[in-house]
């Protein structure tokens, strides 16, 4: 009689006697329902065995991690299943920056609170230059200028062994002195800059709104780029720069449309030099 009374009380107050699983208790509740519980021991009993802890048969137990062992099969919980990724599409442009796409499909739709489907579409950036005309400036806009402090311009003339460009094997294979007439400089308005640039005194000139002068010396001239420096930009368009010896210092700028005299103060005392 005592056991029957106890079982009746547990049944009335959100529990079920002699039931260890959702199937035994005939429970399957949608959504979140804290009364949808299988009580394996008296509510006030001291739980010494973890298997005596109450377990739940509502959909919220999937997130809370307290489902009865047979909840999924008893209540028909089905997780989403997707196929493998398909192949990447062609770049959506033939000149400049674009994107590629790949997709996957739903093999099994989720049901009864099962895990939702992940994203079915992925995109990634791509660059194409095959469709660019010979006079297109799109490839130039995609370049990133690598910079060194302007003070190094003097050191390379006094001691060529300290020229970081030579050590990086980026120097022009021709005699640099014979290409000195090709040297030029350009002005840029800084539009965006990372905080790391502010921490390096050599790059203090890189501040949003500032105008800086960058010299393209003969050692950095590139024959394959029609005798110019990599990343020298396009007038009126935003391009990117990167500080070679200052980690995480990078940003964006716009090149001035004014040609500079090589004898100007800007060119004789540049803020930076191209690499």
Which tens digits make up the pLDDT trace of 75-134?
888 889 999 999 999 998 887 778 999 999 999 998 888 888 999 999 998 878 776 766
Residues 6+ apart with CB under 8 A from 34: 14, 56, 58
Full-prediction pTM beyond 0.75? no
- Domain 81-128 fold is TSP-1 type 1 repeat (2.20.100)
pLDDT single digits (tens) 165-192? 555 545 445 555 567 788 888 899 999 9
Residue ranges of domains in the chain: 2-74, 81-128, 138-274
Split at pLDDT 50, 70, 90, the class of 7 is very low
Taking the C-alpha atoms of residue 208 and residue 225, their distance in angstroms, rounded to an integer, is 29
Q: How far apart are CA 108 and CA 60, in angstroms?
A: 21
Here the tokens at position 177 are 């002195």
Q: Kindly report the backbone phi and psi dihedral angles of residue 36, in degrees, each rounded to the nearest multiple of 5, phi listed first.
A: -85, 70
Distance in angstroms (rounded) separating the CA atoms of residues 78 and 116:
10
Q: Phi-psi category of 140—alpha, beta or left, where left has phi over 0 and alpha has psi -120 to 50?
A: alpha
């Amino acid at each position: 009689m005592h056991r029957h009374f106890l079982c009746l009380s547990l049944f009335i107050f959100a529990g079920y006697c002699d039931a260890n699983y959702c199937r035994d208790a005939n429970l399957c509740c949608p959504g979140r329902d804290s009364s949808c519980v299988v009580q394996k021991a008296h509510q006030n009993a001291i739980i010494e065995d973890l298997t005596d802890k109450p377990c739940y048969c509502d959909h919220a137990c999937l997130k809370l991690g307290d489902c009865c062992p047979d909840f999924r099969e008893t209540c028909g919980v089905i997780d989403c299943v997707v196929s493998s990724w398909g192949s990447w599409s062609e770049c959506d442009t033939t000149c400049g920056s674009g994107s590629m796409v790949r997709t996957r499909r739903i093999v099994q739709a989720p049901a009864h609170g099962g895990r939702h489907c992940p994203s079915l579409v992925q995109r990634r950036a791509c660059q194409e230059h095959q469709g660019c005309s010979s006079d297109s400036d799109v490839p130039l806009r995609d370049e990133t200028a690598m910079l060194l402090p302007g003070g190094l311009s003097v050191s390379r003339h006094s001691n060529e062994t300290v020229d970081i460009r030579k050590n990086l094997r980026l120097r022009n294979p021709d005699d640099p002195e014979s290409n000195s007439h090709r040297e030029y400089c350009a002005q840029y308005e800084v539009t965006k800059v990372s905080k790391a640039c502010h921490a390096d005194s050599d790059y203090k000139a890189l501040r949003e709104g500032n105008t800086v002068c960058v010299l393209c010396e003969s050692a950095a001239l590139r024959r394959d780029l029609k005798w110019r420096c990599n990343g020298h930009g396009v007038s009126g368009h935003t391009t990117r720069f990167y500080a070679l010896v200052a980690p995480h210092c990078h940003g964006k700028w716009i090149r001035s449309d004014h040609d500079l005299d090589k004898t100007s103060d800007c060119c004789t005392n540049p803020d930076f030099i191209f690499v």
